[in-house]
Amino acid sequence: MHLNISRNHPSSIPTQIAAEIRAAVANGTLAPGDAVPSTRALAQQLDISRGSVITAYDQLEGEGYLLTRQGAPTRIHPELTVTERPKTAVQSGLSRKVARPRISLKPSPGNAGAIRPATWRKAWREAAKHPGTDVDNAGEPELRSAIADHLRLARSMALTPDQIVITGGSREGLMCILHSLGTGLRVGVEDPGHPGLRRVIPLLGHEVVDCVTDGDGVVVHALPDDLDALLVTPSHLYPFGAAMPVPRRAELLEWAANTRTTIIEDDFNTELRYRISPQPTLSSLATNADVLTLGTFSTLLSRELAAGYVVASAATAASLREIRSILGVPVSTVTQRAIAHLLDDGVARRTSRAVHRDLARRRDILREHIVPLLNDAGVRAELVPGDGSDLTLRFRQPSERDQFEARLLAAGLECGHESALWTNAGDALVLSFAHLRGADFEQSISFIAREVSMLVRAQNATGGDSNG
């Protein structure tokens, strides 16, 4: 078994070993049931400590890649979930198999900060102690009170629980808002901007209107004055990486009040993107403008948690509650109480601080190791400005981009495309790392570093100009 391990790599030796074995399974070099070298033999082969190999094997066993039994060779797990791999010209009639899971590097509103399973279990145990009651479609009073307190402490928002409506996530929250506004709406969206929620709008029969955006957010003087609503992400301007400054926010709110346009503020990821206090929400600054704020728990607590909320005026919240009683599927009472426990216990705020540290570490690894490596290979790699960990990769030729993407896909990594994020976009690849779990981040970095190193060696062997 050949593994490409380097002491100069940004990832640790055990992480590289695990990534190489995953890659061998993904490309068919190793199949379920195949034996792998013993920890002692592989350590001697790679000239590294046996402890590093043991650490890597333990990780892979925990992930279900390896099966170890007393007195028997360690093997790729025979019951590893696999899918058939397309046959190639060099394959025999027996089809190889590859692991089903892939790592998506497409931009995502998620983050790497899911709370620990033990913390979740404790919250659920506390929530399950209470007897069941009739489900409130607007949300359990306990959770709405916890959200109000959390937003007061984390965002300096003075709210009452009656201004909060619990939803099944941001998409359902947006659907309820649009239903409350009427039919045949003209809804403005940021361009460029994150695709996220904009896809919901045409599904409900409304018109999407692209609105020009610069590094400070939507350009207010360029906004059409016949919009019914405007969906904005003032605290996460994509792909610029900044937040809308207060003067632009004030200008936008004045425009909204004058044109009687409802502002829908998507507040995702806000608390996780700033090492200092985040910007105030538009709703906390609004005077005469009608502003509704969409919040979600998926970025702060867990990506698997389909729960969110809408912050609105008391009158608008009453309308949303009525709509949700007809359209919305109630979020589980136990889930709501578990979230309330996590908010009241300070878990959410501690999680955000831990995520800040991890995102800073990831950004440092990308800036110090991956970006220079890509640039040496003739790829113009740039970190998206701000606190995030997204990379844009621009290639000299479309064929080079396609070949690079194909190599990553073969290794189990799925790239994002700049052209899919907004209209009139470029042709760069976009790689997002903030939403990955720790092991997936390390694996992705190892794959990318390996593929780029191979590309540079190939260019050097052929006498190519790697600086393009």
**Tens-place pLDDT, residues 389-410:** 888 899 888 888 888 888 888 8
* Domain boundary pick from 43, 78, 101: 101
Res 108: pLDDT:
65
Quick check: helix, strand or coil at residue 182? coil
Res 299: pLDDT:
62
Res 276: pLDDT:
43
The residues, any chain, with a CB within 8 Å of residue 39's CB and separated by 6 or more, are: 50, 53, 54, 57, 74
Look at the alpha carbons of 179, 184, 185, 191 in this order and tell me if their dihedral is positive or negative. Answer: positive
* Domain boundary pick from 345, 364, 391: 345
Pull the structure tokens for residue 259: 């044109």
- Residue 4 phi/psi, 5° resolution? -95, 95
Task: Assess whether 206 and 91 both reside in one domain.
Answer: no
DSSP state of 148: H
Res 272: pLDDT:
45
Intervals of the chain under pLDDT 70: 8, 10, 62-63, 81-101, 108-117, 131-135, 238-241, 268-280, 286, 298-306, 328-329, 348-349, 386-388, 420-425, 458-459, 462-468
Model confidence, pTM: 0.64
The span from the first CA to the last CA of the chain, in angstroms, equals: 35
* Beta bridge mates, 293: 265, 311
Residue 380 lies inside a defined structural domain of this protein: yes
Res 45: pLDDT:
85
Residue 123 lies inside a defined structural domain of this protein: no
What separation in angstroms does the CA of 372 have from each of 11, 53, 365, 427?
Answer: 15, 29, 11, 21
- Residue 63 phi/psi, 5° resolution? -85, -10
Res 355: pLDDT:
72
Residue 120 lies inside a defined structural domain of this protein: no
Res 273: pLDDT:
45
3-state helix vs strand vs coil in the chain, percent to 5: 45, 15, 40
pLDDT digits (tens, 9 = 90+) for 222-267: 999 999 999 998 887 766 667 888 899 999 999 999 999 999 998 8
Where in the sequence is the domain holding 426, given as residue range(s)? Answer: 105-112+349-468
Number of domains composing the chain: 3
pLDDT digits (tens, 9 = 90+) for 258-282: 999 999 998 865 544 444 455 667 8
State how far the Cα of 190 lies from the Cα of 207, in Å rounded to an integer: 14
State how far the Cα of 324 lies from the Cα of 321, in Å rounded to an integer: 5
Place of tokens 């400590």: 49
The CATH number of the domain holding residue 40 is 1.10.10.10
Res 388: pLDDT:
67
Chain center to CA of 80: 26
